[in-house]
Amino acid sequence: MQLPNKTLSFAFFSLLIIGASFLAGTYVGYENRAAILKVSGLINKETPVTSDEMVVDFSPFWETWNAVNEKYVPATNSTTSPGEVTAQDKVWGAIQGLVGSLNDPYSVFLPPADSEVFEENIQGNFGGVGMEIGMRDNTLTVIAPIKDTPAARAGIEAGDQILKIGDEVTADISLEEAVRLIRGEIGTEVTLTILREGRKGSFEVAVKRAVITIPTIDTELRKDGIFVIQLYNFSGQSPRVFRESLREFVLSGSNKLILDLRGNPGGFLEAAVDISSWFLPAGKVIVTEDFGPGKEDLDIIYRSRGYDVFNDNLKMIILVDKGSASASEIVAGALAEHEIADLVGSQTFGKGSVQELIKITADTSLKLTVAHWRTPKGTLISKDGIVPMYVVEMTDEDREKKKDPQLNKAVDLLLSR
C-alpha cells in the first residue's frame, strides 16, 4: 500500500514529521520520567488537566493503570504472563485506545512493529498481493487491485469486502494490521474470504504473494481515432510519463481523449495538480484542503499552473469507478466541474481525507486525519465520492465475457461529438 509525503492525497496519505506526545499535559518531561516504568513510581493525577478549551480528568486513567499493575492476573486459558506485557506496552496500548476513540479508520497509532511495516510499505516495491485496501462503512474493502499482480490475476475486484485474512476475522481490524497479515514471505499463499456485491454468500480466494511493482501508464490510439490514456496511480513519476503521453496524443492528430482512472487508488497530490494543469487556465481551483470548522485560515487552495495547452476543440471523457480514489477523485472532480471532461462509469470510492504521519518517538508514529478534500465547487469527496454524469455499471457477466460497457459508452459519446 503506497503512502505519500506532504503532497499525498489517499488512499494515500501525506507525511508531515512533527513532534507530539500522547501524555503531553499529563506530565512534563516524559523522557526523564524513568519512574513511569515502575508501579511504585506512578503518580495519580488527582487534579484535572486544564487548557483553554477543555477540562480533562485523568484520574480514571491512573486508577486503571494502578489497578492493572497491582491486581491483574491472566485468565487461566491465557498464554501471556504478567511479566510479558511491559509498562511501555501498556503505554502503547493506551495511545492506541485514544486514537481508536476517534472512530476514524485512517487514524491509527503505530507502535514499533507496525511502524516498521508501515515504513516498508511506502518504499514503492514490496512483497504482497498487489491491491489497495481501505475502510468503507467500517468494513475492510478493496479499493482496487493493481494491474498484472497476483490479486488482479486471482480475480480480486474493486469493492470486494474482505471478511477474513487466513483465519483472522477482519471485524474491528486496522488497515495497518490488515496489511501486516496480507504481507508475507514471497511465494507463500494467503487466503482471503471475500463478500462481493451481487454474488450470494462469501467465498475464498487464494493469492500467492510476490514482489509488487506498481505500473504507471498505458496509451492506445484506437482505430476509430480515439486516444486512450490509462493511468494506474499518481506516483512521483506520473507527471513526467503523463506529459509524454499527452505528446503522443497531440502527435496522433486526434482531438478525442479518454482518460481512464478506473481502479486508480490515488497517490501524490502534486501529481494530481500537475496533471490537471494541462487542461485548466492558470489560477483555476483544482482542490481545496479543508482543515475543518474554525480553521478556515489554515485551508489551502491548490490552483492550476496553467499549462492549458488544449483549446475548445478537445473532446474528453474520464472513466471512473469504485476503485477510483483520492487523487483520481481530485482530477475527475476538477475537470468535470470546470466542464473540461464528462465523467462516465460508476460512483467513486470517496477517499477524500488527508493524513499526516507524525513521528512520536524514534520507532513509533501516529497517522492522523487532519483535513478533507473539497472539489472546486466545494463538494466534500469523502462523503459520497463522485457520481459520474453518465452512470454505467460493470457486471460480473461483463467481466467474464470481457465486455466493457463503460468504455463503450465513452466511445459512443465521443464519436457523436
Please check the confidence at residue 17 and state whether its pLDDT lies above 80.
no
pLDDT higher than threshold 90 for residue 118? no
CA distance linking residue 30 with residue 42, whole number of Å: 12
Give the up-direction half-sphere exposure of residue 258: CA atoms within 13 A in the CB hemisphere.
27
- Distance in angstroms (rounded) separating the CA atoms of residues 125 and 31: 36
pLDDT exceeds cutoff 60 at 249: yes
Longest CA pairwise span in the chain (Å): 80
| CB contact at 8 A, 301 and 373 | no
Measured between alpha carbons, how far is residue 98 from residues 56, 301, 357 in Å?
A: 13, 31, 16
Is the separation of the CB atoms in 416 and 399 below 8 Å? no
The answer on pLDDT for 231 being more than 90 is yes
Stated pTM of the model: 0.77
pLDDT of 193 higher than 90: yes
Q: Averaged over 221-236, what is the pLDDT?
A: 96
Which residue(s) pair with 194 in the sheet? 162, 203
Q: Phi, psi (5° rounding) for residue 416?
A: -90, -5
Phi/psi of residue 292, each to 5°? 100, 170
Report yes or no: 326 and 266 within 8 Å, Cβ to Cβ: yes
User: Quick check: 68 pLDDT over 50?
Assistant: yes
In a 3-state reduction of DSSP, which class is residue 410? Answer: helix
Number of helices (H), then strands (E), belonging to the chain: the values are: 11, 21
Per-residue pLDDT at 175:
84
pLDDT classification of 34: cutoffs 50, 70, 90: very low
Q: What is the DSSP letter of 52?
A: S
Tell me which residues are annotated as active site.
Answer: 326, 337, 351
Reduced to 3 states (helix: H, G, I; strand: E, B; else coil), residue 316 is: strand
Give pLDDT tens digits for 314-324. Answer: 999 999 999 99
Measured CA to CA, the distance from residue 75 to residue 17 in angstroms comes to 40
Calculate mean pLDDT across residues 273-289.
98
Phi/psi at 135 (5° precision): -110, 130
Q: What is the DSSP letter of 83?
A: G
pLDDT at site 188: 92
